[in-house]
Amino acid sequence: MNNKNLFTACVLCSALLSTGSAYAEHEHQSYLAGVGSKFGQGLANAATGFIEIPKNIINISHDQNAFVGLTWGMLRGVMQTVSRTTLGAAELVTAPIPTSDFITPSYIWDRFSEDSRYFGHHMPGYWTTYGPLDDGE
């Protein structure tokens, strides 16, 4: 496969996978829309989990100071990178099984200034911040 065909295939696949997330706002999703949405979330989280490192450094530096951001933010970022990437792969595998979201926010770029939570629980430690749309409960 040459580069042009590979690029076209990637664009087509991402367009097809992103259509399921357009229906995520509806309460009553069809089964196939739920599978597509969960598959897309899993693929995005497995591929972009490494962004948790700069996200945590930025957020903790903003809340505290640069030293704490570079130390504690880096440590939390590495832990959350492993968590988001692993759970993204788990979402890919379990896409046909209807479950609640594993990760909140569902994508790394949603509500970037708030901490990621896994299975509804936040990671222990100081400086856990939730945005205005999520009260942390």
d(CA 51, CA 77): 8
Containing structural domain, residue 133: 30-137
Q: Is residue 59 part of a domain?
A: yes
Contact present, 91 and 41 (Cβ < 8 Å): yes
> What are 79-99's pLDDT values in tens digits?
989 999 999 999 999 988 888
Residue 81: alpha-carbon gap to chain centroid = 10
pLDDT band at 130 (very low <50, low <70, confident <90, very high): low
Q: Is residue 11 part of a domain?
A: no
> What are 12-51's pLDDT values in tens digits?
556 555 555 444 444 556 888 888 888 999 999 999 999 9
pLDDT of residue 127: 52
pLDDT of residue 137: 46
Q: Is residue 21 part of a domain?
A: no
Number of domains in the chain: 1
Q: Is residue 8 part of a domain?
A: no
Q: Is residue 45 part of a domain?
A: yes
Mean pLDDT for the chain? 77
Q: Is residue 20 part of a domain?
A: no
Instruction: Residue 19: name the closest of 32, 6, 5 by CA.
Output: 32
pLDDT band at 6 (very low <50, low <70, confident <90, very high): low
Instruction: Say if residue 3's pLDDT is above 60.
Output: yes
Instruction: Say if residue 131's pLDDT is above 70.
Output: no
Residue given tokens 């903790």 in the structure block: 60
Instruction: Say if residue 129's pLDDT is above 90.
Output: no
Q: Is residue 108 part of a domain?
A: yes
* pLDDT > 70 in the chain, percent: 66
Q: Is residue 1 part of a domain?
A: no
Q: Residue range 47-62: average pLDDT?
A: 90
d(CA 60, CA 54): 10
